[in-house]
Structure 1
Amino acid sequence: MKLHPAWLASALLVLSVAAVPALGGQSATRDGQPADALASNLALPFASDLTGARRAPVFAWIEDVAGARNVWVGGPDIPAHPRTAYSGDEGIELSEPQLSQNGRRLLFVRGGDAEFPEGGAPNTGIALETPEQALFVADVAGSQAPVKIGPGHGAAFSPDGARVAYTRKGEIWLWGDAAAARRLATVAGSVEDLQWSPDGRQLLFTEQRKGHSFVSLLDVEQRSLRYIGPTLGQSSDPTFSPDARQVAFLQFRGPPADLPDSSASFWSVRIADLASGAVRTIWSAPGGEGGQFAGTRGRNLFWTASGHLLFPWERTGWMHIYAMPAATGGTPRDLTPDANEVETFTPTPDGKGIVYAANAGNLDTRQLWRTAIEGGKPAQLTQDDAFVFRPVFGGDRLAATATDAQRPAHMVLVDGMKPLGAVAIAPSYSKPETIVFTATDGMQVHGQLFRGKGPGPHPALIFVHGGPRRQMLPAFNPMHYYSNAYVRNQQFAALGYTVLSVNYRGGTNYGRAFREAPETGRGGASEYRDVLAGGQWLAKQPDVDAKRIGIWGGSWGGYLTALALARDSDLFAAGADFHGVHTLVRPGDASLSPDAEVKARELQWQSSPMGSIDRWKSPVLIVHGDDDKNVDHDQSLLLARELTARGVPFEELSLPNERHEFFRYGDWLASYLATEAFFARTLKAGK
């Protein structure tokens, strides 16, 4: 089945008339009446990409309001305000805001795809000419329009703020106020993590090549390029010593396909002396737990002013932060022994401590903590009535991203949790319940339950996130994709559906054993046991109609949605599959023997929805952007063809030019309205 033209017309009508909601808890209105709740709450301002000036209490971030993106600036002495004036749902992304060290100048990128900055530029707004990816600079305190530097991304201000280094297509460029931009170098790979030396004479970066990466150093004045300690693996997170005479970096490699659980040592911390070129391994991870490298969601290596190297390590089975003297090395000391899982961290400006976001004491929360490098008990900086992420210093002031059950991501000064600007609110939303249930193999699984409004028995839905390296929380998510999914689940509950969001194995923040659980994905789809257990848990609830349980999700969640429908149509009566993976069969690994490769490919097939497609009976809605760079659009073309051949009913919504995380608010809304209408037909009215 295709979407009916009359339905599409009504969706477009909603897009054209839905007003952007007011802030501070006021409902959006349309002709004096309340606007559609889904449209208005999806349009609530969403803040992201917080950055701070190194030597001044100034912050910048990006705010998205119904697809109109702008860069905002603010601080304790600067009222928050937009520094750009872009309007309309154009599908043009803003990314990479940066401030000069003195907080007086601002950089940002407009256009392109921040996740794939070196790929082809998207045209999700279907303009006659594809918008270019370009770098802009502006004075923070000024009112003049930002100045376009030129095509590029990955920019960094020089320490004095007078020059900007940036990259594009394997080239490094330099721009200054007094001269036009000029190319400094061309390299064989892609340039990442570009940064200036403290003296402003050199540029340090990671050069990503096929299957490996190098740490590279470019002397701006001498126009010379060299590679630091190249290895047969990945080199990452390079950082200068405070005196700029040395560079530290991480070196790691992954285990082979036939020994995925090897307990060997796969990573180390190395230091290069820039004068002599000598490189020494100051520490290697011992074999066993933590012998394979895993990082946080931010930067993973710092060299502090106090002379310590800071990095994450899973020696305890949990992501903790360790400190080690850079001069002497030795055994790293755990700074966060009670943290459960550290998600991001940053050193304090004086180099004597760290601030980190973690779920200490409650696996389904996120708070900020501060601890001294020399030792002592960590101090909790934020309270349990909010979820706080990604600490950032601006000078000596600390800011972060905050959410709760009613307020989407916004920026706050951590001291007193004072918002940097106005905060949007969805006043009708209530906090989902956190529940724990057990899969058939004994795995403990966490989830959030959105109880359906009104009398039961209720139709019900399982929601499965993507990634799979994710964790959903009982609040708005700091990622835009899942902030939108949270709105959709709240609105499903308002319509009478009971929704269970499942944090299945393979996800983060429940420890390494949970994240690296055996036989997940193409190795056996063991995470589906958690999804199935969630559906069975719903079916046993007295206020849920066990014959009207559906499932929906995107990306890896789309894969699990399709797998649920293929394997268990008797339980899952309908599903909405957003850009899912439908066959996991991939080319073999060179470390596998021919016989082992045949067995691996057979297991990949059986772990795929395609492996059980002949058992698929329930209707499905398939949604996919045809310029998706994460999950190829061909995956949905394959599924549509196979379902057609077997007479399985499906509806389809193909979004021309759209990416994996939809760039246009209109495409989010159209997709979510299509999902709502689909479940109304297949679940509310009965299968």
Structure 2
Amino acid sequence: MKMHSAWLASALLVLPVAATPALGGQSATRGGQPADALAANLALPFASDLTGARRVPIFAWIVDQAGSRNVWIGGPDIPAHARTTYAGDEGIEISEPQLSQDGRRLLFVRGGDAEFPEASAPNTGIAPEAPEQAVFVADVAGSQPPVKVGLGHGAAFSPDGARIAYTRKGEIWLWSGDAAARRLATVAGSVEDLQWSPDGRQLLFTEQRKGHSFIALLDVERRAIRYLGPTLGQSSDPIFSPDARQVAFIQYRDPPADLKDSTASFWSVRVADVADGAVRTIWSAPSGEGGQFAGTRGRNLFWTASGDLLLPWERTGWMHIYAVPAATGGAPRDLTPDANEVENFTPAPDGKAIVYAANAGNLDARQLWRTAIAGGKPTRLTQDDAFVFRPVFGGDRLAATATDAQQPAHMVLVEGMKPLGPVAIASTYSKPDTIVFTAADGVQIHGQLFRAKGPAPHPALIFVHGGPRRQMLPGFNPMHYYSNAYVRNQQFAALGYTVLSVNYRSGTNYGRAFREAPETGRGGASEYRDVLAGGQWLAKQPDVDPKRIGIWGGSWGGYLTALALARNSDLFAAGADFHGVHTLVRSGDPSLSPDAELKARELQWQSSPMGSIARWRSPVLIVHGDDDKNVDHDQSLLLARELTARGVPFEELSLPNERHEFFRYGDWLASYRATEAFFARTLKSGK
């Protein structure tokens, strides 16, 4: 349930006493021991969404501290400071920060849901009316309050910084500052990746429609739209050539359900001429490994000043970055042959090199590397004492997001790893151990072990992440959801639980074969073998009580938690299921015959917690926000009904108006406290 506003107001008056010192690099503790460690460490400032000005070394990012979100500005010569002054745990997101090329102006979106910007407006703070989603602009150097440009999202500065284009509900709007914004166009789908041409005359965007997407150009002066090379598939990552005369984009299709492992060629890179719309295919993925498109966690196509198109490809079974000459095409050149898995990348401002985040040499790490596009040995830019993600240039200076075992996500200048702003510290946290164990079918699984404090034997927990396209590391995560989960696992260890976080198959950063492992999810839940093996590994540890092993996770992790309790209540004595999926059965796939569809639906049922619910005996805590756009709240309504009918004990925490990744700090805290109390009753007491 929601916490009462009077309680929350009281809590927020106390929290800054513990949290504020951490901004200066101090521990969120008193006398070496946390006054309320869970509340204090969840309230530590978390930085995200780093962006840089194109021509000058100025950066902007978002800081969330106990649910209060603000945009920060900083750089090598600019002391970091909050440019906005929003306060309170209102459940209102800030997203999409952007700087003009000269670094003088700042754009951001406040309100709405950054993951589902076109969906109904969230109202997680239960205000009398849902907060609006609006684009704001501010002078970087000033102190005046930001100016509301208009309702919408996806904003982009024109090259000269004088105009702002943005979108809302399939409309494209233009704001010039000297008058109210005006609507330029309305399209049938939703507008994504809106960007200006280098000459400021046209807007390029992806229009997402039902089951397919197009690349489109809008002439701003004439208000005329053209589609470039529309196909029977998806088109993505459009990018202008440096001279604005051409547009490159990725075109791809997904394989059919009954041939999902096909090695046919499903994607290509195409170039369209802006003047006449003529399209040519620069390169097509050959059949075989990498024949299906998979992208990085960022932009997937760049056109450099040196005339190269940069793109990701899994030809080796790992995500590498390749260069293809834009003028002639030809065989791609692997720029990152030793990278293992590249998570994201960006070209250097001079177009002669790329910087990328990867786990080269250590699958359970993340560091930055630089390599010349012309060829040569990559240079490592960061060291093993931190995890470094998402490189961003501001002018010719490089910044990134960094974490470690004690410091949540913060922004650094990569040269010297100098923090761009204050850094929070959870000083009592120890780095989890990285372990490898083997599932019953021989697959090797990586995980992190949080060792329990206090006397043995300990109760123990398996933690399963969501996604499932995720990887947990032995430190704070750069995603807010999993940064919070890391805090929860550390606090469980402090309370005497041994916690094993399992990077099960279908997750990322262990290669394509691991990510696309056969029979996962609806196809047989093979990833559960890894969860089960983790529980069995814990049961064999001499300091763990094998009768007091629980499991917890959210989203796909909630699904695996429920599946564990349904299939193996003999091993898992209790579980906390955050917004999990409980039935995987989908409506018919038109590519399947009627007989094949029946077989597929039966397999989906057997892969679901509902398929084994008759064997469920262990108690569970069910947590779900009822405005969840990722996993329908009905999934938890279904589970509560079925457990009630079978006499299986459960506790429930329904969060009115809350989304999948809780927007309010208060709801994270309430959920995590409920989880702690639940496991204290079901595991720690030994009952």
* TM tier, smaller: over 0.9
Q: Which amino acid aligns with 1:18?
A: L
Moved more, 19-28 or 183-192: 19-28
- Residues 3, 670 of structure 2: 8 Å contact kept: no
- Whether the 8 Å CA contact 2:69–2:93 is kept in 1: the answer is yes
The aligned runs of 1:467-616 (5 Å cut-off) are 467-616=467-616
Match of 2:413 in 1: 413
Matched, 1:384 2:384: yes
| Distance in 1 of aligned mates of 2:413 and 2:342 | 20
After TM superposition, give the deviation of residue 292 of structure 1 in Å: 0.2
CA distance in 1, matches of 2:564, 2:6: 32
Deviation at 1:223, TM superposition (A): 1.4
Q: Give the superposition deviation at 1:18.
A: 3.3
Name the counterpart of 2:122.
Answer: 122
How many angstroms does 1:444 deviate by?
A: 0.3
CA distance in 1, matches of 2:552, 2:631: 17
Shift of 1:449: 0.1
3-state SS of 2:475 partner: coil
Q: Residue 355 of structure 1 aligns with which residue?
A: 355
Is the CA contact 1:18–1:36 (under 8 Å) kept in the aligned structure 2? no
The one-letter amino acid paired with 1:160 is D
Q: How does 1:244-393 map to 2 (within 5 A)?
A: 244-393=244-393
CA distance in 2, matches of 1:45, 1:17: 16
**1-side partners of 2:13 and 2:468: how far apart?**
35
- AA matched with 1:41: N
Shift of 1:333: 0.2
On the 8 A contact 1:437/1:446 being kept in 2, the answer is yes
Aligned CA distance change for structure 1 residues 569 and 15 (closer, same or farther; 3 Å): farther
Aligned-partner residue type, residue 173 of structure 1: W
- SS in structure 1 opposite 2:601? helix
Instruction: Please give the residue correspondences for 1:190-209 in structure 2 after superposition, counting only pairs within 5 Å.
Output: 190-209=190-209
Could you tell me how far 1:177 is from its partner in structure 2? 1.8
Query: What is the Cα deviation at residue 26 of structure 1?
Result: 3.0
CA RMSD of aligned residues (A): 1.7
Q: Would the alpha carbon gap of residues 528 and 69 (structure 1) be closer, same or farther in structure 2, given more than 3 Å must change?
A: same
Deviations 1:473-510 (A, max 9, x none): 00000000000000000000000000000000000000
TM-score calculated relative to the size of structure 2: 0.98
In 1: Cα distance, 2:318 partner to 2:32 partner: 52
8 Å CA contact 1:11, 1:670 repeated in 2: no
Paired amino acid for 2:503: N
Normalising by structure 1, report the TM-score. 0.98
Give the Å deviation of 1:588.
1.5
Cα-to-partner distance string for 1:573-599 (whole Å, 9 max, x where unaligned): 000000000000000110100000000
Shift of residue 618 of structure 1? 0.2
TM-superposition CA deviations, 1:518-542 (whole Å, max 9, x none): 0000100000000000000000000
Change (3 A) 1:172 1:387: same
Which consecutive residues of structure 1, in runs of 5 or more, have no partner in the other structure?
A: none
Kindly report which structure 2 residues correspond to 1:232-247, keeping only aligned pairs within 5 A, or say none.
232-247=232-247
Partner deviation per Cα, 1:110-143 (whole Å, 9 max, x = no partner):
0000000000000000001110001100000000
- Contact kept, 8 Å, 2:8 with 2:666, in 1: the verdict is no
In 2, distance between residues paired with 1:235 and 1:608? 33
SS, match of residue 401 in structure 2: strand
State whether residues 3 and 667 of structure 2, in contact with CA within 8 Å, keep that contact through their aligned partners in structure 1: no
Following TM superposition, by how much is the alpha carbon of 1:8 offset from its aligned partner in structure 2, in angstroms? 12
Find the aligned partners of 1:97 and 1:119 in 2 and give their Cα distance. Answer: 20
Q: CA deviation at 1:274?
A: 1.3
The answer to whether the 8 A contact 1:318-1:511 is kept is yes
Residues 193-244 of structure 1 show CA distances to partners (whole Å, capped at 9, x for unaligned) of 0000000000000000000000000000121110000000000000001110
Q: Any conservation in 1 of the 2:356–2:368 contact (CA below 8 Å)?
A: yes
CA drift of 1:7 comes to: 13
CA contact (8 A) 1:18 1:35 kept: no
Find the aligned partners of 2:136 and 2:317 in 1 and give their Cα distance: 43
- Paired AA for residue 537 in structure 1: W
Q: CA deviation at 1:179?
A: 2.2
> What is the SS of the residue equivalent to 1:148?
strand
Task: Answer whether contact 1:25 1:427 (CA < 8 A) is retained.
Answer: no
Using the TM superposition, give the Cα deviation of residue 29 of structure 1 relative to its aligned residue in structure 2, in angstroms. 6.7
What is the aligned partner in structure 1 of residue 649 from structure 2? 649
Q: Distance in 1 between matches of 2:57 and 2:51?
A: 11
Would you say the 8 A contact 1:271–1:281 is kept in 2? Answer: yes
User: What is the distance in 1 between the residues matched to 2:223 and 2:247?
Assistant: 19
Q: 1:629-670 CA distances to partner (integer Å, 9 max, x unpaired)?
A: 000000000000000000000000000000000000000000
CA deviation string 1:259-317 (max 9, x = no partner): 01001000000001111211001110000000000000000000000000000000000
Q: Does structure 1 conserve the Cα–Cα contact (< 8 Å) formed by 2:566 and 2:614?
A: yes
Deviation at 1:14, TM superposition (A): 5.4
- Alpha carbons 1:319, 1:340 under 8 Å: kept: yes
| Cα distance in 1 between the residues matched to 2:217 and 2:3 | 59
Instruction: Kindly indicate whether the alpha-carbon contact (under 8 Å) linking 2:453 and 2:495 is maintained by their aligned counterparts in 1.
Output: yes
Q: Counterparts of 1:32 and 1:595 in 2: how far apart (Å)?
A: 64
User: How far did 1:10 drift?
Assistant: 8.8
Query: What residue ranges of structure 2 are gaps of 5+ in the alignment?
Result: none
Residues 218 and 224 in structure 1, CA contact (< 8 A), matched pair in contact too? yes
Percent of aligned positions that are identical: 87
Q: Give the secondary-structure state (helix, strand or coil) at the position aligned to 1:41.
A: helix
CA distance in structure 2 between the aligned counterparts of 1:575 and 1:638, rounded to whole angstroms? 17
**In 2, Cα distance between the equivalents of 1:485 and 1:11?**
21
Separation of aligned partners in 2, 1:174 and 1:8: 39
Counterparts in 2 of 1:571 and 1:149: CA distance versus 1, 3 Å = same
For 2:588 and 2:368, locate their aligned partners in 1 and report how far apart those are by CA, in whole Å. Answer: 43
Question: Which shows bigger deviation, 366-375 or 5-14?
Answer: 5-14
2:452 is the alignment partner of 1:452: yes
CA contact (8 A) 2:3 2:666 kept: no
Q: How far did residue 30 of structure 1 move?
A: 8.7
